[in-house]
Chain A
C-alpha cells in the first residue's frame, strides 16, 4: 500500500529524472536514428493496409522489381522463387522482427539487470556464483548456443526469445554489476540502509534509476544485435517455421537465386541493415546526451 503512495509521490521527479531524454532533439544523430526506427515501427503497425499483396500468396515467380502482375498491380521489389511479392513479405516481416527483438531484449534486461544488481550489491558468494556462471555462458560461442537450443527445443518464437535471453543476459549482468559497484558505496545507499530499507528496494529504487542512462544506451545497441541475431537464426533455418515472413529466412530461401536475381536477397538485407543502423545511431545520440548529463 505504502509503495503505491511512493510511486505516486515519485512521479513528478521520475519524469524529471529522464529530462535528458526530452532533449533528444539536441542530438542530430539521435534524431536520424529515431526517424529510421520510427519508420519501421509505423510499417509494422500498418502492415495489413500498406502491403499490396498477402505475404504468402504465390502470384508470379521470379518477377523483377517494377514488373506488373496479371491484374496490373506493380511488384515494386519483384517476387521470389515461389512467386510471393517481396515488398509485402518485407513489410509483414517487420512485424516478426519488431515483436521478437524487443521481447527478447526486454527478457535479457530483466534477467541481466536483476542478477547484476544482486551480484554488485550483495557481493560475496552470490557475486562469485553469478559471475562464474556468466563467464561460462560468455565463453561459449553464441551461435553454437543458439543452434543447440533451437534445434533441441524446436524453432518457435518463444525459443528464440529464450535463446537470446540466455546468450545476452551475462553481458548485461556485467554492465549492471559494474554500475552497481560504483553506486553502492554512495552515502545515499548508506542512508537507506540506516533507515532499514529492504535490500530489494535499495537495489531497484535507490540504485537502479541512477544506472538507467548507460543501461538505456546499451538497450538500444543490444536491440540492434538482437535484430541481427534473429535474422541470422532465420537465415540458418532456425527462425520462425515457414511460411511466416521473416527477413532472415527470406534471404535463406532465395540465396541459390541471388546471383541471377539479386533483388530477392537485397531488399531483406537493406531492411535489416537500416533498422540496425537506426538503432545504433539512436544509441550513439543517447550516449552523447547521457555523458553530457
Chain B
C-alpha cells in the first residue's frame, strides 16, 4: 500500500466570517476539504452558501471585512494565513490561478488581449516582452482559439463571450498554476460554447496535470468534469464523496433535493417531476440550532435534527452531515404522477413567413442584420410552445414582434384572426393588450423598484380591466398573490425586500393579472438558482393549467424545455431548423443542430446517450450569414458543397415534425441511432 501523498490544498476546519454592522456574520463554518495533485473537485450549492468565499480564502483574499476565524488553509504545505503580502502575491498566479464568471469584467477594456496576456508572463515568469508574446500565442493556440494573431491584436469588446472566457483561462494558465480555481466559469455562456469550455478543461487537466476546484450550481457539469464533489449548504459542507455515487445515491436530503430540481433533457416529461426545495438559504444571522437544512427538509424529526450541531460522518464512500442519513433513502428522481394530457383545441398563433431586418447605420450603412428569416410555425391553444436556440438566434426579436415592441419587416403573425406583425403596442386596442402578456428574464428588472408589490399588481389589474373599484382590485391582488404562493402581506413590500424567485413570482402574477390568452416568457428561469428554477417552472405550469393559458417559452435550457413544452421550434440564425411535437424533437431523427444542442446539454444521469458533439467555432454573425444552410459552418454532418450553396429543403413527417436539412429524415434517423448504439457500452 502506497502512502497517500500530501494534498496540494488542505483546508482543515475552516471558518470565515465577515464583519458587518450587525456584528460578525459567519459565511463558512467548519469546512474541511482537500485537493490532491492533479485532482478536479467540484463545489456545489445555491448562491449564498459560501462557495466563492471559500475559494477566495484559499487565495488569502477575503477583502477588508472578511477574516479566518478558525482552522487553517495549507497550500503545498504552506499555511496561507502566515504568508506575507509579498509571498501571497507570488502565490497568486503561479501557485493558484482563478477564472471568474464574468470574463468581460476580468479583462481591461482598453488594453489589447496580447498585452494583457503578456503582462502575466512578464510578471510571473520574468520573460521579455517578445518571449511573453510568443508564450501567449502558444497558449492561445493550445486552448483552441482560432487565429491567435487576430485575438492578440483585439480588444476585449471585439470578442464573443466564449472567446473571452477562453482568453481568461489562457491568462490563468500562462502563470502555470498548480491549482486552478474556476468560479462558475460557464454560467453566462450558451450550452454549445459551455460544452466546448468543459471539453477544453478536461483536456488541459490531462495534458498539464493541473488540479482544479470547480465551483458551479450546475450538477450536470460537475458530473462531467469532477471525480469528487462537495455540496455546501449555508456555509457548511453537507455531503462529500465520489460524484458518480453521489448522483446515483445522494445521501443528504439537500443533495437529493437539488437533483430533484433539475429537469433532464434525456428523459421524457412523463417520467420526471420537479420537486422544489421549499424556503430559502438562511442568512448568516438566522441559522437554526442543529441542522441548518432542517427548516427546508422533508425528513426532519424534532428532537433529532433541531437539537445539537450535526457532525459530518464519514464512511468508506462519502461524508454526510445528516443525523438521519442511515435511516432515510433519498430518491434523486420522482416520477411524474399527474396526467399531462391536455387537449389543445385549435391554433392560437400562426406565424407565416415572418421576416425582421434591422438596417444598420453609420459605417455599416447598406448592410442589414436579418434577425428573423421566413419564420413559420404555429402555437396551439392552451399548450406550451418552446422556442430554442443560442443567444443571437433571433428568439427575443420574435417575442418583441409578437408583443408589439418592434415591427416585423415582412410576413404575417396571426393571433386568432388579428395580424400583429405590423401592429405596435401603442396601436393595439385594450382588449387585445389584455390577452397578450409577458414574463421577463431578469427578476431584478421586472418590477419597478419605486412601488410596492401591491401597487404594481393593482395597477395591472386595473389597467387590464378585470375589475374596477377599490375592493375588487384589492381582492384580485390578494388572489394573485395566493395563486403565486406569496403571503398576502407581501403586497406592502417593496421589490428590494424580495428574493429573486419571489420577484419572478410577482412578475408572473402581474402577467396573469388580466387572465390573458397568451403569455410569452423570455428565459423565465435562467437567472435563478436551481431550487428556485424548479419552483418557478412548476408555478408556470400550474398557472397554465388553471387559467387555460397558451404559453410561448423562449429558452436555451433543453432540460427546462423538455419538461415544460408540448411543441418545440429550434431556431438558428433567425431560421427554423426543426419544429414539431416535443417528444419528436428529443428523439432521432433530429436536425444536426438539435443533435449538437442535446449532446452539449449537461445531464446528471450517468449514462451518456450518445457521443458528445462539440461544435467548433462561434455562432456566425447575423450580419453576413453563411450562404446555403446557415448551419453548414459548424455542422458535423455536413454533406459537401450542396450545404454551402443551396438552402436546405424542409422534410416533413406525418406527425407534423419538420426538419430543414439536405439529409433526408430517414437517413438522419439511421445515422443518429447508429451513433447512439456505438457509444453504448
Contact = CB atoms under 8 A, between A and B. Distances in A.
B463 A197 contact: yes
Given A16-B452, A187-B440, A195 B445 contact: no
Nearest to A210: B450
Interface in B215-274: none
Interface in B454-476: 454-456, 458-460, 462-464, 470
A262 interface: no
B85 to A, nearest CB: 29
Contacts of B403: 190, 194
Interface string A190-225: 110111110000000010011010000000000000
A144 interface: no
Contact size class for B? 35 or more
B460 A196 contact: no
B271 to A, nearest CB: 34
B187 to A, nearest CB: 20
The dominant DSSP class at the A interface is helix
Given A6-B459, A187-B446, A196-B433, A12 B452 contact: yes
Contacts of B510: 191
A78 B97 CA distance: 73
A13 B447 contact: no
B440 A191 contact: yes
A186 B503 CA distance: 14
A23 interface: no
A190 B455 contact: no
B471 to A, nearest CB: 12
B67 interface: no
B430 A196 contact: yes
Contacts of A10: 451-452, 455
Contact of B425 (A12, A188, A194, A212): A194
A209 to B, nearest CB: 4
A9 B438 CA distance: 25
Contacts of B445: 186-188
B494 interface: yes
A55 to B, nearest CB: 45
Interface in B519-576: none
A181 to B, nearest CB: 15
A2 interface: yes
Nearest to B429: A196
B451 A191 contact: no
A13 B455 contact: yes
Contacts, number: 76
Given A16-B494, A194-B403, A194-B433, A187 B442 contact: yes
Interface string A235-263: 00000000000000000000000000000
Contacts of B459: 6, 195
A17 interface: yes
Contacts of B446: 187-188, 191
Nearest to B463: A195
Contact of A190 (B440, B449, B458): B440
A126 to B, nearest CB: 15
B209 interface: no
Contacts of B437: 194
Contacts of A195: 433, 459-460, 463-464
Nearest to B513: A195
B191 interface: no
21 contacts: A6-B459, A10-B455, A12-B452, A12-B492, A13-B455, A14-B450, A17-B451, A17-B494, A187-B440, A188-B447, A188-B448, A188-B456, A190-B405, A191-B460, A193-B426, A194-B403, A194-B433, A195-B464, A196-B463, A210-B448, A210-B450
Interface of A: 2, 5-6, 9-10, 12-14, 16-17, 186-188, 190-191, 193-197, 206, 209-210, 212
Interface of B: 403-405, 425-426, 428, 430, 433, 436-438, 440-442, 445-452, 454-456, 458-460, 462-464, 470, 492, 494, 507, 510
Given A16-B452, A191-B510, 8 more contacts: A10-B452, A13-B452, A187-B442, A188-B448, A190-B403, A191-B440, A194-B403, A194-B425
